[in-house]
Amino acid sequence: MIRTFGHDNVEKMAEIASIPVINGLTDYSHPCQALADYMTMIEVKGDLERIKIVYVGDGNNVAHSLMFAAARLGTHLAVATPKGYEPAEQAIQWTRATATATGCRFELTNDRRLRPRMPTLYTPTSGPAWARRRRLRRGSGSSGLSRSNEELFSLAKPDAVFMHCLPAHRGEEVSAGVIDSPRSVVFQQAENRLHAQKAVMMSLMG
Is it the case that residue 118 has pLDDT exceeding 70?
no
pLDDT of residue 163: 93
Q: How far apart are CA 64 and CA 123, in angstroms?
A: 14
Residue 141 predicted with pLDDT over 70: no
CATH of the domain at 75: 3.40.50.1370
Structural domain including 54 reads 2-205
The predicted pLDDT at position 130 comes to 47
Band (pLDDT 50/70/90 cuts) for residue 93 is: very high
> Whole-prediction pTM value?
0.88
Per-residue model confidence as pLDDT tens digits over 45-88? 998 988 899 998 889 999 999 999 999 999 999 998 888 889 99
Strands (E), the chain: 2-3, 23-25, 52-56, 76-80, 105-109, 121-124
- Pairwise pLDDT comparison (72 vs 112), residue with the higher score: 72
Calculate what percentage of the chain has a pLDDT beyond 70. Answer: 82
The pLDDT assigned to 151 comes to 82
The whole-chain average pLDDT of the chain stands at: 85
- Angstrom distance (rounded) from CA 195 to CA 110: 34
Give me the pLDDT at residue 123, please.
Answer: 60
Which pLDDT tens digit goes with each residue over 158-169? 889 999 999 888
Reported confidence tier of residue 120, pLDDT bands at 50, 70, 90? low
Structural domain count of the chain: 1
d(CA 145, CA 142): 5
CA dihedral over 70, 89, 111, 169, signed as positive or negative: positive
The residue type of 133 is: R
